[in-house]
Structure 1
């Protein structure tokens, strides 16, 4: 009897694995999202740090020209307009998610459609833990654990019993970040050795996973968990690590390869953690949001998405090859803003423009940059206009 070829054996194994993964994902329950609860950092902060800033200490993103495109005034969002979370809320037919700080007394009425705990500058790991490792957060002492505790304290005011709270969370979309980027940003901005920073990645991913599991125990069912951006394409990094060694850059788009590989490493470990949690909780719908590739497509094909060919420069900044100057950051004296933010990917050299966030949101909602694909069965025709406007 002839033995099967090695190729045939491998093909059969792959087929079994694909079927198993499909069955595993298909067991996840799908609920229509009637509210959004958000955790994270500046990529999702809709006004928290802005609202708790000390009098006279307004952060630069609380000053013009921030917010000029959509809101026409600063809202605490570090962009010229809306963020990914805003576009997702619009897509679901929900109001923009209010920040926890600055809400209408934090009542169940003001937060009935959800609440945002994301804070500009927040880390995944605790402030004291990072400080013990010589990493100081110069922006805030907020971390993912602090945000989770705020949510736990608020939850009893949103529901009358544990069963009601469980039902509330079953019908909610929980956005878990992006978070973790600042755990790496602070040491990397200080030019800490990349290998030392890599040691933080399993700890960061583990923290994200543990918080997700706590929320599952409270009743959470549907999660969107973004990965890290391609940080090698961000003007602040391109400025800090500028070099004459052309081999360190992607020859096609000019991003720093080693920094993008670091982001890929984080994203790989994060996806492995989500796979592990899926196996423990097959009823949960864990959606990995591929911010990395959804953004990278903009850099690789800027004209296709309406961006200029010089896509690595910031719209608002204080000059230099990438229009980023730490002493003249956007909103501060010495900085100027471009005439058309929609033609830029980077807004202030660290964060993205509304146009870039819109492109990312569209890539997540319409595919193929989520694993598994977002469930669209609950999107009613009344929301079709906002969907088409993405």
Structure 2
């Protein structure tokens, strides 16, 4: 019962979005017109939208497997994306008529139409702030604050004045997230050690202590995202999307961690969709209902890949497949699930009237 309540609360927290008001977008001259009047896109986030920054940072720890095949298998090569292929940020750029966003750390890349600052494993709170609260960040120090600093440095280096920055941002879309999910993940994927810190373990902990710790972080995580949004809006951004996290309690990694402590018949009581294809990761090692083993992640020796990733929403038990991300992009930005709409796309279903 406590575990079911814990997962429900976690899903509610991670699905909660932050809405920041902004002035209506200015008119863009026909010579600059693209889909929705957007000529550039700037993205902040974590592994849900990283297109190669962690790959270029070097030591990726447990995420090292994402830098080689089978990651990228659907598009023929690994790119640093944590999926078999493309991500939501790629499909959104395509829908807007923009080139795919290059990672900021690829210094030879073309950033004319935007930059991707997202880094896999990144958190909303700084690594120092999390360490002070007993949470270890194992993958990267490039938190939202670091990405925001990169953004400011980039804008300053490519313009001559704050006025030019405002002009550039007036025809840009800012994607601030998804970010913050890892702040909670690192709490649930670690346990209290004898030294009072959090020590890594192989399976997620669903204890009341870890839930309470995650709950305590929520106000700070939300405030960190809101503060970053305000800074970017103050610089001149007029169109911004702040995505929430999807229900990570329904991912194969979390479901697998709960298997030992609760019978399978209770799992769908938490609101997770049933069906083997929905629960089972395409790439993994353990077989079974979830095909997820935290000691042998996708890409490790002994792991296998399903015959058709497009028939599974989950790629590696943590991230989605290219097909899963394509469907989510369609539902959010064309089918009216993300309202009010920050961008206008062809064949976009209008948002329902506000009652």
Q: TM-score, normalised by structure 1?
A: 0.72
Tell me if structure 1 keeps the 8 A contact 2:239–2:342. no
- Number of aligned residue pairs: give it: 301
Following the alignment from structure 2 to structure 1, what is the Cα–Cα distance between the partners of residues 61 and 277?
A: 36
Give the superposed CA RMSD.
Answer: 2.4
Q: Larger relative CO (CA 8 A, sep 6+): 1 or 2?
A: 2
> Does 2:278 correspond to 1:311?
yes
**Structure 1 residues 27, 173: closer, same or farther in 2, change over 3 A?**
closer
Residues 249, 56 of structure 1: alpha-carbon distance in 2 compared, 3 angstrom cutoff: closer
Instruction: Select the residue among 91, 94, 97 that pairs with 2:98.
Output: 94
Q: 1:358 to 1:56 in 2, by over 3 A?
A: closer
CA–CA distance in structure 1, aligned partners of residues 217 and 26 of structure 2: 34
Q: What is the CA–CA distance in structure 2 between the aligned matches of 1:29 and 1:55, rounded to whole Å?
A: 39
Q: Is the 8 A contact 2:50 2:120 kept in 1?
A: yes
Aligned equivalents of 1:345 and 1:117: distance in 2? Answer: 25
> Residue 11 of structure 1 corresponds to which residue in structure 2?
none
Q: What displacement does 1:59 show?
A: 1.0
Distance 2:223 2:156 in 1: 27
Q: Contact 2:47–2:120 at 8 Å: present in 1 too?
A: yes
Q: Which residue of 2 aligns with 1:344?
A: 312
Displacement of 1:157 in angstroms is: 2.2
Residue matched to 2:143 = 143
Deviates more, 1:187-196 or 1:215-224: 187-196
Alpha-carbon separation, structure 2, partners of 1:55 and 1:206: 28
Q: 1:26 to 1:182 in 2, by over 3 A?
A: closer
CA distance in 1, matches of 2:165, 2:44: 18
Q: Are 2:241 and 2:342, in contact at CA under 8 Å, matched by a contact in 1?
A: no
Equivalent residue number for residue 250 of structure 1: 268
SS at match of 1:226: coil
**TM-score w.r.t. length of structure 2:** 0.79
Structure 1 unmatched ranges of 5 or more: 1-23, 258-295, 301-307
Q: Are 2:325 and 1:357 aligned?
A: yes
SS for the counterpart of 1:328 is coil
Q: Could you tell me whether the CA contact under 8 Å between 2:40 and 2:173 is conserved in 1? A: yes
Residues 238 and 34 from structure 1, CA distance in 2 versus in 1: closer, same or farther, beyond 3 angstroms?
same
* Distance in 2 of aligned mates of 1:85 and 1:58: 20
Q: Which residue of the partner structure matches residue 17 of structure 1? A: none
**Conserved 8 A contact 1:48-1:101:** yes
The 5-angstrom pairing of residues 147-166 of structure 1 reads 147-166=147-166
- In the other structure, the counterpart of 2:216 is 199
**2:299 matched to 1:331?**
yes
After superposition, the Cα gap between the structure-2 partners of 1:336 and 1:219, relative to the gap in structure 1 and judged at 3 Å, is same
Long gaps (5+) in structure 2: 1-19, 28-36, 191-204, 349-355
Which one of the candidate residues 49, 55, 77 is aligned to 1:73? 77
Q: Does 1:183 align with 2:150?
A: no
Cα offset, 1:235, TM superposition: 0.9
